Structure formats: structure tokens, C-alpha cells
Structure 1
Amino acid sequence: MHNYLTQATLLFALAAPAAGLTGCCAREGAAAEGFDAARYVNPFIGASTSTAAAGVYHGLGKTFPGATTPFGMVQVSPNTITGGDNSPGYSYEHTTIEGFAFTQMNGVGWFGELGNLLVMPTTGPLQKIAGKEDGSIAGYRSHYDKTTETARAGYYAADLTDYGIRVESSATPHCGILRFTFPENDLSRIQIDLARRVGGTSERQYVEVIDDRTIAGWMKCTPATGGWGNGEGHADYTIYFYAQLSEPMRQHGFWSADIPDTWVRKKDEVVSIPYLQRVAQAPVVTGERQIEGKHIGFYTEFPTREGQQVEFKAGISFVDMEGARKNFEAEIASKTFDEVAGEAYAQWNRELSRIRIEGGTDEEKTIFYTALYHTMIDPRIYTDTDGRYMGADGKPRSTEGRFTKRTVFSGWDVFRSQMPLQTIINPELVDDLLASLTTMAQESGREYFERWEIVNAYSGCMLGNPALSVLADAYAKGIRGYDVERAYRYAVNTSRLFGNDSLGYTPSDLCISHTLEYAYTDWCVSQLAARLGKTEDAKAFAQKSRAYRNIFDREKGWFRPRRADGSWAPWPENARTTEWYGCIESTPYQQGWFVPHDVEGMVELMGGREAVLADLNEFFEKAPADMHWNAYYNHANEPVHLVPFLFNRLGEPWSTQRWTRFICRQAYADKVEGIVGNEDAGQMSAWYVLAAAGIHPACPGDTRMEITSPVFDRIEFRLDPRYAQGGTFAVVAHDNSPENIYIQRAVLNGEELAASHIDFAQIAAGGTLELYMGPEPNRQWGIDKPTER
């Protein structure tokens, strides 16, 4: 049983002076009893989109620092930028804030989405645009004092220096709240840019004044006005809100810009000077109670005394305005800011306590629990409190209590570590996700699984068929609370529509990535078919899973892009380390190791075990020590995330131990630049959580879990009794230290363990895995029969 911060303790913490980056993790404030995991969360880790800091076009973590709850629909976060490849709407190096939005994406690349309902407190003359940080056009954005910027689990605050206003934010699952502390001013204001969207603008908006404290409305977002992939991601949704202010709206007004039908309204255009000038010239409308338009805003003005606090809270829904109102009334209507923030912190403590660690430094604990925090943002809730959600056919539907509809499935990323982590600590979420993907395929009439889903959009982003991996992995682990037969049918359809069927490989510009990824997920379908007793399908898909062999050029000794006529694409100089040569966001050297389902077959093609081990060791040795983007082991991107665990399969487990500890130390840190690549909806952090815990899959869909060197002395997983018979599973590392990184022997539930892996069923059964650590490799322990053919 865990207890959390008392209300008095929390209120003290909320009132404490901001402490910048270290405030959330250096603060003393353990719970009266139990372990206060949330105190180690630092939401600033990864909160940068800077390509300069990353040294590469993908930037760094791209996380947001604002307030949210575990897997919540709402994220109330500061936004410092609109447009470009800035999906979280925030980057730490910026010096101004343009508002506080109620929805954000977490750590993804491509041109962003969400960033809706942008609220900003101001004083003085009304300005209708945020303007630009460089001052080329003025607006309502404000500089902020970095020394006052504070973020922790469920809470964010900063002082807007241009206005002398302090802003604090918190959230419930479906609602958000802002508290503004104003200076003395005859003309203080809260204004809302209803058109705002991170990657463009909403196409049309509506707002109405319901009474002197309440407003409601909607923003319709379509691909025509940018958003996900600057429109190429096909995101098409309407977000509804119902909001109240603690200060009566004695006077209010709107503005509505006349945007010509011929104007492009996407990510670059909406931040251009001509577009901003057009909005800045929009007429102010008073004396009305509602307005609809292409680019509208709302404001209410009132005098304030020094230190006066005004709260703005809003419920949101993707279904309708009634849903937003119901969410508001169910979660936040009667609550104060302090109550919301206290409950958010307690929710985070409850969820983070699914894993409890002992040992390690305070910095390592902060890295771990912030990573776990980042794995608990997506796939987020899409269902209203009454069980309704917007179906993939554009019609309101209900889960009827059977599951929680979820959204934001960054499949190509999260099948590797994020979803396998959730199978251990949150299997119900995996059930929800598979039910969500299956109902989406059904309701849309497409009857296949999307690889990158966002608010019902079949975005087509990235490649492969990652939902098939998640499905096979879940079923193998006993997670089956969805329509299994329908899901299986859609998996088969997905493979036939997007796969290697016609030629036995995929002759595209990304031939290597396409062919290898499809081969793996066909193996996943074969495993699922076998478990379902579909013997013929199992054989057929197992044969399809060998497609990777059809693009291996034995003369070159590596995978090579192949054309539709069977000929090889030209082989450039340094082909294996040439990024984008037949591969997505990677080199053939990086992508080529991705045959997790048939390591023996891969090794045979590559010249045998000794040759492969030599090549693998070079792959790691040539990577830079800072783990930033490179042509070798590139932890900043997903294709290599399973590679360190190949050493276990090749009879050299000490190398898995060495390199996972090295990556945990070098690729993660307690700082803004503390995630070397895009967080990608939890994947980058989930890799750390599992590797630092000493267990990680090398092939989702197979229940084998690789054992590696834990960062901590003890890691205890709390298991869900509805899915696992064991109460907890613990990994204990005796004599663990930064020097003692090698496993000398292992004991599982009192019995000697000779293998460098365990089965997921052994985790689900509960118990303790004890690892005895030392400074030198034990070359006798954990050696499976060598993978050779």
C-alpha cells in the first residue's frame, strides 16, 4: 500500500519558490509513508526541439513540460512556437511564451498536431496575434523569467515578465485549469486564440457566452489547414470545450479575421507576416454573445488589484459540446486549483508506484521516474466520462463500458519497448489500445490496422505493420480483452495490403526497411495464427517471414535495395553507412540487424557467429560517446533499439550488459538535452525503464525476455492481478555499482538460472530474479547454445 503527499505538504510545495530545472527533483517532500516516486519527475527532461542542440534535423526529445495526468486527454502546457517541426509547441531555449494550450503531442517528429485552446493572460491594449519572438511583428506573447519556471508531475508555473503575471497550470484527465496571479491594473485580460494549432490553424471555430462566467465552443481541424504532417497526416477532428472563469465577465468581445478563400493556411503561412498582419487588423466585435469564423478569438477584460488570482478551467471533448460540459462537471466544476494540482500529483504517484526502485543516485532516480512518467502519456484517453467517443466513421459512439477508447499510437516507435513495458505494468491499457485499433478499423470500413493513428486519422506515417506486433505480443502474454477473431482477420488483411506478397520483397526507395519490417510482422501473424490453431495460416506467414533473405546480397555481404525487375539498386561508396539508402531515417548498417524473429537465419547470411560478433562490436565501438545521431549504433532513433540484446542471442551476454549500461549512462540525463532523440510517444523512455530494470524483449511476439545489467539495486514491478497471478516481480542486483556492471550468476526464485533470459510467464507468476554483479565479465554465465547455422 502506498500513501502520498498530504494536502498540507503539497500546498507548501506549490507555494515554494520556483527552482528552474532542478526544482522538481531536488525538492525534499517524501510522502508521510511509502515511496514518493512523483518527487523525482522532471518534466523539463527532453523539452527541446532544437536542431542546433541535437546537431541533426530530428532535434532532441520534443517533450512538453506542462501539466497532465496519466494517459490524460488534456495537457495544459506553455507554448513558445507555432509551426515547423515543433510538435510539443515548446522548446526550452525560447525566451517568450505565446500562450497555454490544453492539448499537446509528446515527443514526436514531423509537423505537429493539437496545441488547441490557446489561453493567454495580458494587460494593457488588446493585441490579436502572438507576434514573433524576434520582434519582427509585435503581439501578445510575453517574455518569461526562467528562474521562476517550475514543472513537476501535474503542475507547471512561470512568471510572464512583460505583464507581471504569474501563470500556473494543472489538469484532470478530461479538464485543465490555469491560475493567473495579476498585478494591479485597470485593464487586465484573459484572451483565447481559438484558431491556434501547433502545425497550422483550425479551419473554423465557434464560441458562445453562456453566462457571465461560462463560455463554450469548438475548433474544427482538418488537413486543409495543416496539422499533423502539414496536412499529409490526414488529421481531421473537432475539439469542443466548456470553460468557466472565477472572475465574472463584466465585459467581453471577439475578433474575427477575414481570411480570403484563396489563402493557404498551413504551418508556414499562418506564421508569415502577411497572415499575421491580416489577423492583427481583424475588427473587434462587442455586444454579441456568439461568433463563428475562420480565425476568431475571444477576450474578457476586468480591473485587478495586486496579487488578485483568477482561475480559468475548461473541459474538452472530441465528441460534442455536451461531452465537454459533462467532462467539466464530472471532474473539475467544484474544485479549486490547489485541489486539482493535489489530485494530479497523487494520480502520478499512484501510477508511478507500479515500479519501485532502490539504489542508484538521485540523478538516476530522476531519469528513471521521468522516463516512466513519459511512458504514461500515450496512448491517451479519447473517451468522454460518459463512455462516448467520436468513431472513425465520424459518428458518436459508446464503449458501453467494455474498454477505454485511446488515441495516439506511434506504432513504428512504440512496438519495440513502450508496449512491451505496458504488458507488464499496465496490461489493461494494452487491451484498450487493441480494442481501439480494432474498432477503428471496423468503424472506418477499412478493415486493416493503421500504423500511426492520431484522433482516428489513418495518417500512414512511417512504415511496417507495427499493430501486428502489439497484437501478437499481447495475445502471447494472455492479454485478450478485445475481439480476437476480428483483430486476427484485420491483421491478415493488413499484411496482404501492406507487405512483401507480390515479389517476396518490397521494391521501394526504402526497400530494406520495408522488407525487413514486413517480414518481422508476418512472423508475428504466424505466431498468432499458431496460438489460435490456424495451422495453415501459421505455415504461410512463417514462410512470408523469410522475405528478408530476398534482399540480402551475398556478394556485398549485406542487405541491399532491390528493384521490381529483380535487379539490385546501385551500391554507392560507404553504402552500409549511408543514411536513407534503402532505409527510413537510418543506414543499412542500422536497419540490417532487424531480423529479430530469425537471428539464426540472419547470422547464416552474414557469415556466421564470429563474423557477426566482430561486426556488432565494431557497430557499437564506432558510435560516439555522447550517443547523438550517427551512422553506427544510433540510439537517437528506433531501428537499433533491439540491437544491444543480440549479444545475448549470440552467446556473448556480457556485451549486452556492457552496452545497455553504457547507453543508460550516456543517452539519458537529468537535463533538457537528456533524451538524445525524439521521445516518440514513450518509446525512448520505455527502452530506458526496461533496460535499467535489467529485462527487455528482443523480439516482441516472443515471450522471451532478455536479462541485462540493472542500473538499480532493486526494481519491483507491481503486477495487475486480473492478468498475472503473481503480486510482484523483482530484480535484485547484489553488489551493484557503476563498476560492477557484469552478471556473475543469477538465481530465480531460489533456483540457479544459467540462461541470459527468462519467459514472460515467469514474470507474471511473480517472484524474484537475483543477479550477482562483478567488475569483469563472467564468460561462463548466460551462454545459450551459440546462434550459428
Structure 2
Amino acid sequence: MMKKYLILLLAAACQVSAIKAQTPADYVNPFIGATTSVDAAGVYHGLGKTFPGATVPYGMVQVSPNTITGGDNGPGYSYEHTSIEGFAFTQMSGIGWYGDLGNFQVMPTTGKLNTFSGKLDHPELGYRSTYTKTSEAASAGYYSVKLDKYNVKAEMTAAPHSGILRFTFPKNDDSRIQIDLARRVGGTSTLQYVKVVDNHTIQGWMKCTPDGGGWGNGDGKGDYTVYFYAQFSKPLKSYGVWSANIPDDWKRKLEDVTSDKYQQAIANAQVLPNVSEKEGKHLGFYTGFATTANEQVLIKSGISLVSIEGAKKNLQAEIPAWDFDGVRQKARALWNTALSKVSLTGGTKDQRTVFYTALYHTMIDPRIVSDVDGNYTGGDNKVHQSSAFNKRTIFSGWDVFRSQMPLQTIINPSLVNDMVNSLVTLAGEKKEDYLERWEFLNAYSGCMLGNPAISVIADAYAKNIRNFNVPEAYKLSVSTMDKFGNGDAGYYYVDNGIAKTLEYAYNDWCVAQLAKGLNKTADYAKYKQKGEAYKNIFDPEKHWFRPKLKDGSWEPWPVEGRLKEWYGCMESNPYQQGWFVPQDVPGMVKLMGGNAKVIADLDSMFIKTPENMMWNAYYNHANEPVHHVPFLFNKLGAPWLTQKWTREVARRSYKNSVEGLIGNEDVGQMSAWYILAASGIHPICPGDPRQEITSPSFDKVVFRLDPAYAKGKTFTIAARNNSAKNVYIQSARLNGKPYNKCYLEFSQVTDGGYLELTMGPKPAKGWGSAK
């Protein structure tokens, strides 16, 4: 009996040791959210829209499978698709609006050369291949799949500015690697160039303009050139180019490129063997060779947004050899270093997987776009260099100001400085007097609403993250509000009047906070007053916010009342958008009829929300306007309801599955909300250092702080007696002393310390109820 007991004890010890030995990267599941399915979402926005391919933290390169070019499929991939058209070197994560990138698409093939990718419903007509779903695997920095059509195993991994793919071929005299140089997720590259440099190397570029669709199908003004320097492990003995005849008068937006006429032109592209240099409107490159059974052939490429020379330097610096496994190990090491900025104790394996995958998704953007030598292309299309900051891009402003950028102020403050510097210098390079709200590769797309860059600047300044040109940032913030704001009328009346009035009022308040910090007393008074513009659209008769016409009269009230989607709102309804007065919650509550009434109304909103929390008219976590709402109970003197509902949102909205994100990932925002809320803190109002305390999902969360910005080394939130039932905070101790506030100041976090929460199954209404 004793022997059996010792064996069991040893086995248990080994299990514990195995769990402890797991690294953060082991928990990353890149398939979480990797679907654009409208059917699964029940709404046209789709679900997570992430990609499963290989990348490194904030890297320029993402080598990932692409299953589709058309439709509102931003990542170019959706899990339910059954065929792959190739593996592209650039992707966007979690976005709608057609998407962009998906450039330099590589595909291994065998047999007859086909220049047409084929379609989802007829993959056999082109070079795309069905794939064995069970063979598909993804982890941090790595992806692999088996292509059924060619019996080829495809593997890929990445470095910051480069990527490498390894293809295991069958025995075949007509094996091939082909590259679609024209391919682009939301349309097409409009002009390409390729040149054979030597018997292992090609180089060139792909120019992408709004005429070729892309971001917002051209409305996003995406205008960039991707340069490449690519090498093959097998010599270029049989190679060539294919070139489709695209007439000058053909339009080239997404609907044109995906038309049968256009696709037929691609299918009939002229194949030009042994052509070593070519420029054209729709080019591809191929290299053919014989392979033995299980022969591995590799391709690696550096990518640059500056020059071919930049792409070459990037490749030589990062992947000089043909060591695929070495690159994969380095990518994994980079992820473990980045993900180790937050460590966990407790939770289930699924919860830890959801957490670290969420953290992983917050570390894709804003990505670096400067080369290894520091060069980057500015908004003036000139080459710039900066050693003071890393040039970054993809600022999904309306989304990320709420949780993603506040998260980075804790774990990656230098990134926040980079982002502010990138936006401020971009305005100077473009000679614009305002900050862009949704920046993509220097493009001022104007997507969504509000002036979120001001929020990010104000939040950074309030948290002593100030390694940027503060006077210029302030000047741009003021001129941005003058250009895009509530104006002399004190409200916005053109369209989305509720959403814009409320968000502009908050942005004005942000300017006021900057003015106060800079001792600009007149500006402070002016913008503080403008920050109260939310009062101008509150209708006391309807007891809610209501859009006004230019003459000051109310827009007609809909039959659905405040549940009417798009009534004065962006992708939401007045019930959801109306809570967005983060800068003055007491003022909002007074308008709404007082504390008790607001608590009841807010609680009812959550109660009426569907169990699965998919897109709905109440608490719609699938969209950003409500992301601060669960934390409002803290300011209403009912923190136990913040604790209850944040735990419910975390439990019901985030799963370890492909459908595990109930809405678009939105460039890190959806995941950042989970990281903060599941850790136990989240802001209501970026620009205000106050951090709301809520119920953690884990026994212990440790944030590792940056010594260049923080006095402390770590900040820990521990939850004693934590469980699925014990969701309510009974008491708290901060650094060993009793603590009865339901919030922290940001300086208390960066000073380092230990917040210990004692949890229980019932609300402790005496704790933290002082507002």
C-alpha cells in the first residue's frame, strides 16, 4: 500500500512540475478568434477576425495562411474555409472594413503551373489547395499545415522584419514554389517589379494604392510599397514570371478584382519562362525543380516599407542561414520574454490559455515599420531615421484608447511613447494640423469617430510617460479639437450625433487635463467647459441622450427608443453609447435621475443581456462603446456589481475556441479588456490615473514594470479564496495595510506593491463603497 502511495505521490509531483515548467508561450492558441464567419456571429461584423500564422511581438512580418481575398475578411483567413490559396508575409489582426496587406503570397505546388488561385467553392480550378484540418497547427511564432492537393507539408516562422517557410515535398519531377506578387487582401497591388539577382535570390516590390482597393476598399487611403529580398534553398534553374494583361481602363477595387472577368484574365496570364526582370500590373514568379520523397525546400525573405536594400539588410540581419528551427526557437523566445511581463497563478488551463492568447493578441500591433537600420518611410514619402523612437503603425484609435493603450502604459510604456511619437511626427511629415484617428501605414483614413489620439496622449502624460514632443503634441491636440469637435453649437448634428457629441466632449476634457498639466489656465477653463457638452443632448422628456438637428430641435424619437441601433450612434444604440461620459460620471448620474435609478438601469442592462453575450441591444461586449460600463458601478457606490459583472463578461465572452472572441479583436482592444479585467484593474477614463479594482479571475497576477518608467519592480494582485463562486471582494490589503477603496491611483501601481483581496460568495457591501 505504501509503495502504491509513493508512486501516486511521485506522479502527482511530476504533474505539478510539468505545469510549473510550462512557459507563457505554451498557452498561446492563435486559433482563438480566427474566424470571420457572419453566420457564427449572427451579425455582419463577424467574430474575432484574427490570423493564426507566425509572427513575433510587434513584428513587421506575419507569415500566415490566406484562405480568401474577397469579402470583409480582414485577416485573409477564416477557420471554416476548407482551402488555402497561399501564405502571405503581411496581415492585419482583428479588423473589419475589407482589410489590407496580405502581400508576397507564397504557395508550394506540383504538376502543371496554374496562375489562377481558384475559388473557395471550386478550389480545383486553381492552385489553391484543400487542406487536412487535423494537420493544421499553430503556436506562438509557428504555423504548419498539410496541403492535400500537393501532398506538401508547409511550415512557417518569423523574425521581426523577415520570415522563412519550409516545404516538405513528395517525390515529383514538377515541384514548384510560386509567388503571387499582385495579391492583396482587400483588392490588388496595382504595380509590381521582380528581378532575379543570382541563382538563389530574387528582389522587387509591390505598390499598393487606393485604386487597388485595400483598406476600406480604397476609402481608407492605403498607399504603400512593400519591398522584398527573397532567397530559395534550391537553385533557380527553371524559373519564370507570369503576367496578366490588365487593360488600362479596368477598375481595380475589390469588387472588380474578384469578378469573373478579372479572374479569367489572371487565369489566362502569359507565362514567361526564364524572364529575369519584369514590371507589370499583375505579376507572379515561380521556380520549378524536381524533388525526392520528403525533400525540404525553403524560402526566406526580408520585407521593408522603405527599399529593396532595406529588405536585404533586414533578411541578412535576422535570418542569415537556412536554420528554420533556430528561427522558430528565437521567435518563441521573443514571445516568452514579452508574455512574461504578466505572470499568473491559479485559473484553469483554459483560462490561462485565454489569458496568454489575449496578451499575445495585444502584442501584434502597433507594429514596427522601421528597418533594422532605423530607416522608415514618413508621411511625406521620404526616408526618415529616428533613434529616439521606433516608428509604429496600425493605430485603431476608436478601439484601442479604451483598454489596449492603458494596458501598455503598465507593461510596455515605451511602446506608448513610440505610438505618440509616430502620430505626432506623422502630422508634421504630412503637414497636417490634426492627429489621425485610425492610422494605417501613414494613411489618414479618418475611420470611425472621435479624436482618440488625444486620449492616448492625455493618458500618457497623466502617467508620466512623456518622452515625446509635449508642446507639439498639445498643439496638435488643440487644433484637432478645433477641426473635429462639437464646435460653437456645443453638439454634433451631422450624423452619429450622440456618439460624436459624447466622444468629442470627452476629448475636450482630455485637452483640459493636458492644459492643466502645462499650466495653461485659460485653455484649461475653456476645454473643461467644452467637456460638459454632453449635457446639451440630454432630453429630460425622454430621460436619455438624443441627437439634435442643426437648428437645435430634436431628431424624431424612434419606436424602439434608446434601443434603436444607429440612431445617433456608431455601430451601437443610445442605451449603449449613452453611458460614455467617463470624464464626469457624477454629472451624468445627476442628469439620469440619481444614483439609485442609474444603478437599477445599469444592472438591468446586464440582466437583459443574452447568456452568450453575442451581438445584442443591451450590454454588447462585442463592440467597444460599452467596454468601460461594467466599472461604472464602482463610481456609483456599488462596487460588488462591478465585481459580479466583470467576472460574468470574462467568463461568457472569452473562450478557448475559434469562436472564443464574440466580436472583432480590433487590434488588441478586445483582448486587452480581458487582460486588465481578469487581472483585477481597469480604467473608466483614460487621462485620469484612477484604476478601478474589480474581481480577478486568477489567484495571483504579477505585472513586471519597466524600470525606466516605474519606481517598483512588480505590482501584484492576489485573490485569497478565489473561485468561480467566490467572486466578491470581502476585504483588501495594500502592502500589508487595510485598504477600503475600490480603486487605485496609477502611481500606486508603478510604485510597485502587493494588493491582496479576500474573496467570498456574497457581496460585501461595506467594502469600497465610498465613491
> What is the TM-score when the length of structure 2 is the normalising length?
0.97
The reply on whether 1:741 has 2:741 as its aligned counterpart is no
Tell me the equivalent position of 1:633.
619
Tell me the equivalent position of 2:196.
209
Tell me the equivalent position of 2:401.
415
The reply on whether 1:468 has 2:454 as its aligned counterpart is yes
Tell me the equivalent position of 1:556.
542
1:293-312 equivalences under 5 Å are 293-312=280-299
Q: State the percentage of identical aligned residues.
A: 62
1:509-658 equivalences under 5 Å are 509-658=495-644
For residues 493 and 588 of structure 1, do their structure 2 counterparts lie closer, same or farther at Cα, with a shift above 3 Å needed?
A: same
User: After alignment, is 715-724 or 28-37 more displaced?
Assistant: 28-37
CA offsets, 1:366-394, max 9 Å, x none?
Answer: 00000000000000001100000000001
Tell me the equivalent position of 1:61.
48
Structure 2 CA distance, aligned partners of 1:137 and 1:203? 27
Tell me the equivalent position of 2:342.
355
1:204·1:221 contact (CA, 8 Å) conserved in 2? yes
Tell me the equivalent position of 1:186.
173
CA offsets, 1:484-532, max 9 Å, x none?
Answer: 1111100001100000023111102200000000000110110011011
Structure 2 CA distance, aligned partners of 1:31 and 1:228? 45
Q: What one-letter code is carried by the residue in structure 2 that aligns with 1:736?
A: N
Structure 1 CA distance, aligned partners of 2:354 and 2:424? 34
Tell me the equivalent position of 1:13.
none
Structure 1 CA distance, aligned partners of 2:274 and 2:232? 19
CA offsets, 1:260-312, max 9 Å, x none?
Answer: 12212111221221111111111111232110000011000000000000110
User: After alignment, is 752-761 or 28-37 more displaced?
Assistant: 28-37
Structure 1 CA distance, aligned partners of 2:490 and 2:22? 53
The reply on whether 1:289 has 2:288 as its aligned counterpart is no
Tell me the equivalent position of 1:342.
329
2:123·2:129 contact (CA, 8 Å) conserved in 1? no
2:369·2:376 contact (CA, 8 Å) conserved in 1? yes
What SS does structure 1 have at the residue aligned with 2:526? helix
Structure 2 CA distance, aligned partners of 1:331 and 1:759? 41
Tell me the equivalent position of 1:661.
647
The alpha-carbon deviation at position 575 of structure 1 amounts to: 2.0
Structure 1 CA distance, aligned partners of 2:216 and 2:16? 42
2:233·2:322 contact (CA, 8 Å) conserved in 1? no
Structure 1 CA distance, aligned partners of 2:524 and 2:741? 28
Structure 1 CA distance, aligned partners of 2:224 and 2:582? 37
What SS does structure 2 have at the residue aligned with 1:433? helix
Choose the corresponding residue for 2:219, options 232, 236, 252.
232
Structure 2 CA distance, aligned partners of 1:765 and 1:373? 26
The alpha-carbon deviation at position 447 of structure 1 amounts to: 2.5
1:30·1:36 contact (CA, 8 Å) conserved in 2? no
Tell me the equivalent position of 1:452.
438
Tell me the equivalent position of 1:761.
747
The reply on whether 1:438 has 2:424 as its aligned counterpart is yes
The alpha-carbon deviation at position 29 of structure 1 amounts to: 12
The alpha-carbon deviation at position 84 of structure 1 amounts to: 1.1
1:30·1:39 contact (CA, 8 Å) conserved in 2? no
2:35·2:46 contact (CA, 8 Å) conserved in 1? yes
Structure 2 CA distance, aligned partners of 1:292 and 1:210? 15
1:389·1:397 contact (CA, 8 Å) conserved in 2? yes
The alpha-carbon deviation at position 229 of structure 1 amounts to: 0.3
Choose the corresponding residue for 2:737, options 731, 751, 761.
751
What SS does structure 1 have at the residue aligned with 2:204? strand
Structure 1 CA distance, aligned partners of 2:368 and 2:324? 22
Choose the corresponding residue for 2:76, options 69, 89, 112.
89
Which structure 2 segments of 5+ residues have no match? 1-14
Structure 2 CA distance, aligned partners of 1:285 and 1:347? 42
CA offsets, 1:112-158, max 9 Å, x none?
Answer: 10000000000000000111021187100000000100000000000
Structure 2 CA distance, aligned partners of 1:290 and 1:613? 69
1:118·1:193 contact (CA, 8 Å) conserved in 2? yes
What SS does structure 1 have at the residue aligned with 2:165? strand
The alpha-carbon deviation at position 761 of structure 1 amounts to: 0.1
1:619·1:633 contact (CA, 8 Å) conserved in 2? yes
Structure 1 CA distance, aligned partners of 2:698 and 2:202? 50
Q: What one-letter code is carried by the residue in structure 2 that aligns with 1:50?
A: S
2:141·2:157 contact (CA, 8 Å) conserved in 1? yes
Q: What one-letter code is carried by the residue in structure 2 that aligns with 1:372?
A: L
Tell me the equivalent position of 1:128.
115
State the superposition RMSD in angstroms: 1.2
Tell me the equivalent position of 2:316.
329
1:501·1:544 contact (CA, 8 Å) conserved in 2? no
2:30·2:357 contact (CA, 8 Å) conserved in 1? yes
1:49·1:61 contact (CA, 8 Å) conserved in 2? yes
Q: What one-letter code is carried by the residue in structure 2 that aligns with 1:653?
A: P
For residues 587 and 164 of structure 1, do their structure 2 counterparts lie closer, same or farther at Cα, with a shift above 3 Å needed?
A: same
The reply on whether 1:483 has 2:474 as its aligned counterpart is no
Tell me the equivalent position of 1:429.
415
The reply on whether 1:197 has 2:188 as its aligned counterpart is no
What SS does structure 2 have at the residue aligned with 1:157? strand
Structure 2 CA distance, aligned partners of 1:767 and 1:287? 66
The alpha-carbon deviation at position 413 of structure 1 amounts to: 0.1
Tell me the equivalent position of 1:773.
759
1:693·1:731 contact (CA, 8 Å) conserved in 2? yes
What SS does structure 1 have at the residue aligned with 2:254? coil
Tell me the equivalent position of 1:314.
301
Which structure 1 segments of 5+ residues have no match? 1-27
Tell me the equivalent position of 1:9.
none
Tell me the equivalent position of 1:163.
150
Q: What one-letter code is carried by the residue in structure 2 that aligns with 1:607?
A: G
The alpha-carbon deviation at position 666 of structure 1 amounts to: 0.3
1:29·1:39 contact (CA, 8 Å) conserved in 2? no
Structure 1 CA distance, aligned partners of 2:561 and 2:436? 31
1:669·1:675 contact (CA, 8 Å) conserved in 2? yes
1:756·1:783 contact (CA, 8 Å) conserved in 2? yes
Tell me the equivalent position of 1:4.
none
Structure 1 CA distance, aligned partners of 2:756 and 2:63? 42
The alpha-carbon deviation at position 713 of structure 1 amounts to: 0.2
CA offsets, 1:511-555, max 9 Å, x none?
Answer: 000000000011011001101111111111000101111111111
CA offsets, 1:689-725, max 9 Å, x none?
Answer: 0000000001000000000000000000000000001
Tell me the equivalent position of 1:41.
28
What SS does structure 2 have at the residue aligned with 1:567? coil
2:543·2:592 contact (CA, 8 Å) conserved in 1? yes
The alpha-carbon deviation at position 33 of structure 1 amounts to: 8.3
1:718·1:728 contact (CA, 8 Å) conserved in 2? yes
For residues 32 and 709 of structure 1, do their structure 2 counterparts lie closer, same or farther at Cα, with a shift above 3 Å needed?
A: closer
CA offsets, 1:313-352, max 9 Å, x none?
Answer: 0000000111101111111122511011000001000000
Q: What one-letter code is carried by the residue in structure 2 that aligns with 1:382?
A: V
Structure 1 runs of 4+ aligned residues shifted over 4 Å read 28-35
What SS does structure 2 have at the residue aligned with 1:52? helix
Tell me the equivalent position of 1:251.
238
Structure 2 CA distance, aligned partners of 1:99 and 1:411? 31
Structure 2 CA distance, aligned partners of 1:731 and 1:33? 20
Tell me the equivalent position of 2:4.
none
Choose the corresponding residue for 2:698, options 712, 717, 724.
712
Choose the corresponding residue for 1:696, options 679, 682, 699.
682
Q: What one-letter code is carried by the residue in structure 1 that aligns with 2:333?
A: A
Q: What one-letter code is carried by the residue in structure 2 that aligns with 1:114?
A: L
What SS does structure 1 have at the residue aligned with 2:275? coil
> What is the TM-score when the length of structure 1 is the normalising length?
0.95
2:426·2:442 contact (CA, 8 Å) conserved in 1? yes
The alpha-carbon deviation at position 35 of structure 1 amounts to: 5.5
The reply on whether 1:106 has 2:93 as its aligned counterpart is yes
Structure 2 CA distance, aligned partners of 1:485 and 1:181? 56
Tell me the equivalent position of 1:725.
711
The alpha-carbon deviation at position 31 of structure 1 amounts to: 8.9
For residues 184 and 35 of structure 1, do their structure 2 counterparts lie closer, same or farther at Cα, with a shift above 3 Å needed?
A: closer
